Amino acid sequence: AQRVTQPEKLLSVFKGAPVELKCNYSYSGSPELFWYVQYSRQRLQLLLRHISRESIKGFTADLNKGETSFHLKKPFAQEEDSAMYYCALSGQGQGNLIFGKGTKLSVKP
Amino acid sequence: GAGVSQSPSNKVTEKGKDVELRCDPISGHTALYWYRQSLGQGLEFLIYFQGNSAPDKSGLPSDRFSAERTGGSVSTLTIQRTQQEDSAVYLCASSYTSSGTPQYFGPGTRLLVL
């Protein structure tokens, strides 16, 4: 079955601490993986995708096919990073994303 | 220019009534997506339009749900004979690539079925 699991509903860290938002997936084939973010009272937006191998707002994510994971990491969390983060996957070139339930990140001062 | 817009922003309806939700994508975007977000189910894919290709309707939960996209731009999601379990936030997104990735989401329409 195709599935995205984000094991943490809530993750709370202090400003300046490293943060890792976990994402595991189940998919038969070669998926594309994404992270989306939704800040308070703002729209859902694409943060990054694994094929781009990019760093956005200091966040990176590496696809580990062996562990079927796509964890989102940032070495030094900022208060403005507080938001809901959703991991998602799709088949290549397909628009039907499968989303995880999301992790609420709270960065405390 | 403006981002993806959706109307209405909120809709309250009675069980059994039909509703229409509208999405205006970013101009020039060829791909348009509908998702819904509810407390119990999280974010669920509904339907995906890509250019002139036949839409991917694989996420529509029942035949009460339908969507169309006129002139490759505006899209309308119609829910017939609404049920209480249809209550959710309905999100529209668009993108200009053919990669299948929704990039820009609208603010959503919050639907409440009484």
Mean pLDDT of B42-57: 90
The backbone region for B79, taken as left when phi is positive above 0, alpha when psi lies in -120 to 50, beta otherwise, is: beta
Q: 35-94 in B: which are within 8 Å (CB) of A?
A: 35, 42-45, 48, 50, 56, 58-59, 91, 93
Q: Distance, in angstroms, between B65 CA and closest chain A CA?
A: 16
- Closest among B36, B32, B65 to B51, alpha carbons compared: B32
Tokens encoding B50: 């890509």
List, in order of start, the domains of chain B with CATH numbers.
5-97 (2.60.40.10)
Q: Quick one: residue A75, left, alpha or beta (phi over 0 = left, psi -120 to 50 = alpha)?
A: alpha
Tell me the residue range of the domain where A104 lies: 3-108
User: Could you tell me which chain A residue has the CA closest to the CA of B59?
Assistant: A96
Helices and strands counted in chain A (H then E): 0, 11
* Cβ pair B45:A49 closer than 8 A: no
Is B3 in the A-facing interface, judged by CB distances under 8 Å? yes
Which CATH number do you get for residue A79?
A: 2.60.40.10
Q: What total number of domains does chain A contain?
A: 1
pLDDT in tens, chain A (109 residues): 789 999 999 999 999 999 999 999 999 888 899 999 999 999 999 999 887 778 889 999 989 989 999 999 999 999 999 999 999 998 876 778 899 999 999 999 9
Which band of pLDDT confidence, cut at 50, 70 and 90, is reported for residue B81? Answer: very high
Average pLDDT, chain A: 92
- Report how far residue B60's alpha carbon sits from residue A4's, in angstroms, rounded to the nearest whole number: 20
Cis, peptide link before residue B8, omega less than 30° from 0: yes
Is A31 within 8 Å of chain B by CB? no
**CB spacing of B50 vs A95 below 8 angstroms:** yes
Model confidence at B1: pLDDT above 60: no
Query: For A63-85, how does the pLDDT look when each residue is reduced to its tens digit (9 = 90+)?
Result: 998 999 999 999 999 999 999 99
Q: What share of chain A in percent tops pLDDT 70?
A: 99
Residues 6+ apart with CB under 8 A from A95: B31, B33, B45, B48, B50, B56, B100, B101, B102
> Is-contact A5 A89, C-beta < 8 A?
no
From chain B, the residues in CB contact with A34 under 8 A are 101
Residue of B nearest to A32 (CA): B101
| Residue A76 · residue B24 · CB < 8 Å | no
